[in-house]
Amino acid sequence: MSSAKPKTNRWLPLASGCVAGGIEAMAVWPMEYIKTQLQLQSKAKGVKLPYNGMISGLTYTVRTTGFFSLYRGLAPTLLGSIPKAGIRFGLNSFFKDKLRDKDGKLTAGKNFISGLGAGVCEALIIVAPVETVKTKCIETNMSFGKGMKHILSTEGIGGVYQGAFATALKQGSNQGLRFMWYNEYKKIVSNDGERELTPLIRLCGGMSAGCFSTIGNNPFDVIKTRMQGTNASQYKNTIDCFTQMLTKEGIGAFYAGVVPRLGRVVPGQGIIFMSFDMIQDNLSRYSIFHA
């Protein structure tokens, strides 16, 4: 009798990603809020930062605007995180299947390309508009409804897609690095699939992937945030944003918010990769997800 697992259809990684994305978004939102605030605060001459790190940012925000203000911008992000993660994991699985060799193997480079393709598609389909609304809601301290109304009335529908190119750069490189690292990690730790991975090992793998991708692409994240902020009009385009930041603020500006971003991304990626694997393993038992 064959012991091969039933072949799964393409809805399985998409459904698993949706659930995992919602779990991850709710768990780590306060750190994302502070990270975005730090990136929006220009270090140009004459601008004073109210805080300079995650702990001081959390303390300052709770003291001045209340605890629940830490969840400003969560609504559009939560609404976006569910389909966003579904698209990301679903398309990553699709691209991986297309790039496998005759033995079903994938190189690190092919894993990067699969993640890159999934990240770019994710960015253009949903991340760019959701991230723009989120960024402006945080910067103006507005609720989702008021923030959306303000953007549409002052900038039109184009304001919702501000910084799409920078977002694609950031998201594509982000997911490429993460999926490459995580898949190589699993290959090594599981002895190329021969050893079962525990949830804790998957959590550590996701956290290490988050750390690797954050350090590798933080400059893209900062530029993306600036291009989506309410002061984006001071930049002609993504390249001009990069040039102005480099000449006026120095190379350190590209790593603004990297510590709080690590504080948000590292546990977040641990949660989402662990959740995805466990949810996919459980959903694969149902016949609806069999090809």
Would you give the DSSP letter of residue 44?
A: S
Residue 140: what pLDDT?
80
CB burial string 59-85: b at 16+ within 10 A, e below:
ebbeeeeeeeebebbbbbbbbbbbbbb
Band of pLDDT at residue 232, cut at 50, 70 and 90: confident
Distance CA 163, CA 128 (A): 7
- Residues linked to residue 290 through DSSP beta bridges, in sequence order: 8
CA distance 230 to 121: 25
Question: Structure tokens of 184?
Answer: 């190589």
This prediction's pTM: 0.74
Return the HEC string of 172-236: HHHHHHHHHHHHHHHHHHCCCCCCCCCHHHHHHHHHHHHHHHHHHHHHHHHHHHHHHCCCHHHCC
The yes-or-no verdict on residue 29 having pLDDT over 90 is no
Q: Would the pLDDT of 133 be above 80?
A: yes
Paired strand residues for 174: none
Q: Average pLDDT of 221-225?
A: 86
Task: Write the pLDDT tens digit of every residue in 259-271.
Answer: 878 887 899 999 9
98 pairs with which residues across the strands? Answer: none
pLDDT confidence bin for 41, thresholds 50/70/90: low
Least confident of 39-43, 79-83, 119-123, 280-284: 39-43
Torsion of CA 101, 208, 122, 216, to 10 degrees: -100
Six-digit token string for 85? 């993660």
Q: State the Cα–Cα distance between residues 114 and 217, nearest whole angstrom.
A: 17
